[in-house]
Structure 1
Amino acid sequence: MVLSINNLFRKIGDSINNKNILFCFFVSQFLALIIYQNSYVANFGDHYHLILDIYRGNNVVYGGHPESPTFTIIGLLFSFKNFYIYSLLVYFISSLLMYGTFRNLSFLKENLIFLNFTGWIITISWWMGYVDIFLIYFSSYLIKLAYNKQAKNLTLFLLSGMIIFTHSGLGIFLLITIHILNFVFLINKVKVTLLGSIFGYLLNQFYLQLIKYDFSESRLSSALDKEILFENIVNGVKNVLSIFNSSIFIFSLLIIYLAFKGTFKINKNIILALIIAFLGSVILYDTSRYFSILSFPVVVSLIDLNSSQLSLLKYKVHLLIFTSFWPKTHIWENRSYQDSPFSDQVTIYKIFKDLITYFF
């Protein structure tokens, strides 16, 4: 299967000599571990106990947190019954998929480094345990296929299905965004991706039925609540600059620089995709987190469209300096965060510390 983790491992061997991919990956790990500092989501323990309950066959009705099931299913497949091992599994799979993302987008060549200076790295770092990294990886794979204009229908079917299965709400907006940005190639593939999306959605619903999911607490039910929806849109408009900064982040400096020189390029597809990404983020509530994921294809398109101008820039890596003090303005539940909302709970450092205590 094209999207399998095993296939990703094999491809790592093929690209290990590509210093650009490795360098970008190591930069992302430095940012995630040192600058942004990894943290697991507040209900990460609930995710783990969900795995145990499913494994033991406990008859429990579950609320909102298992709606995006990918890590849960991986935990079940590996039958991990140790919280620390499961935590490390989530971290290493996330890191592996980050590497895969850089590999998929290697067509950006020397401009690949600029992906490290946008908000998706912050989201992946702060929301460990959620399926965000899977969406980023799958979207990067779809972008790669569209860029090369070579994709079998079965591959597109499975890829679309995995995106929707992983997170139905985000997946819909993500597929729309990618199709807008790659309209010429993907317009003829709409039927295939639509069928794949339906398959992924049905598979997701089947899984949720198996674990007796409480659909009254789903993201869809919140999005359909008129009061909540109106409040989200109003707050999104109020915080529009902060939301955009939380995604475009340091790359905005380059946009300003190129615009000042009169060489910045943008097209109507990028603008429309950016609007769709923003609407999706305010409708689905976890504003900056969602926007950084939905706008990820937009950032890739901006880098690709301005590749000739960006490739002329020297000292690209020096942008790392800005990661320490550039305002993150990560909006969640109508609050702006400069640090992870979960930094006082489970972090990768606490996991390693507890592991050492546990074994020694």
Structure 2
Amino acid sequence: MEQSLNQDIEELSSTFERMMRPHKAKYAYPRPATPTPQRIPDSLTASGIVGHTMDMPSRMRAIKVFNVMLARLWRRRCAEVCDLHELVRKYQSKASTMRDDLFLRNKMICKEQRRCDRLEMELRQVKYAAELSSQGCVTIENALNVVRRKEAKLRRDLRAKTQECSNFAELLNVTKTEMFRELTKFRQCAQELAEQQRQNRILEIRNAELEDELLTLKDRFQSQHDDIVVAVHLKQEKIDEAYETLKGYEEELAELELKHNELLKENNGDAILQEIGKMERKIGMVRYVICFINTRRWRLLRASWPNFKCIAYEIVARFLDYILNSPLSMPTLPVTSVGIYLTVMLLIGALY
């Protein structure tokens, strides 16, 4: 559009230049000189002078020449008028074209102005958004620095975890090796366990048989226990009698000691000393047994009796069974020794 406007301006300038140049006639007649105001009066005066002097034929020729010149001038002026009309039409068309172009340009200028305003508003918005973006960029940069520090920390943690994972991998390999070794041991132990279970089954069967025997023995033991309880009451009475007998023995011992002292004073007999020594040993044994079964120890034994009940019953049952089934052949002993042995046996029986 600017190029067309420049072309129109150049065309107008060229047209004005043509108008400023002298017009060239369409015909090949020589152009007479333009009469000046000073020369016209001279020609008039000359014609007036000639009119007075010229004859009619000369005057007619002069008028004819003058008419030819007027016609030539008229044709030239008509050509100039036509040229001017054509130039006016061109100027009008150019003016309308330029007016349309000017209207379009004004319209485009207004449009561009509105577009500039809109772009200016958008530019302000973009500047504001850029400021916000710059602030956001600063915030993001700070956050990015924090994230980078966290990343560095996580990288350090990752290296530590990687090292730890490698250590765990080595430990896993060692553990797998140990696990295979332990699996081998487990298979061996499983075989041994199967063997032990088989033996355990055999032992369970044996245990069931022994439990049956134990129940049978318990029944026997209960019956024996009832008998032993009755025997214990009888033996308690015998213990009381043994206490009385022991007191008699102590009195007899005291008398014997008095006699011994008298005999020592008289003759110091060896036989009596030996007999007294034997009596002292026997009496010491009886005292030890009596001291062992005193009241406090008897109470402790009674308190702990339920714990040792089965063992005590078994021992007493075996002891009585042995005594009843295979009695001992007692050698010939003095009466005093026989009494002491019987007392000890009664005390042992009362204890159990």
Interval containing the TM-score (normalised by the shorter chain): under 0.3
Q: Give TM-score, length-normalised by structure 1.
A: 0.18
Q: Give TM-score, length-normalised by structure 2.
A: 0.19
Q: Which has the higher helix share?
A: 2
The structure with the larger Rg is 2
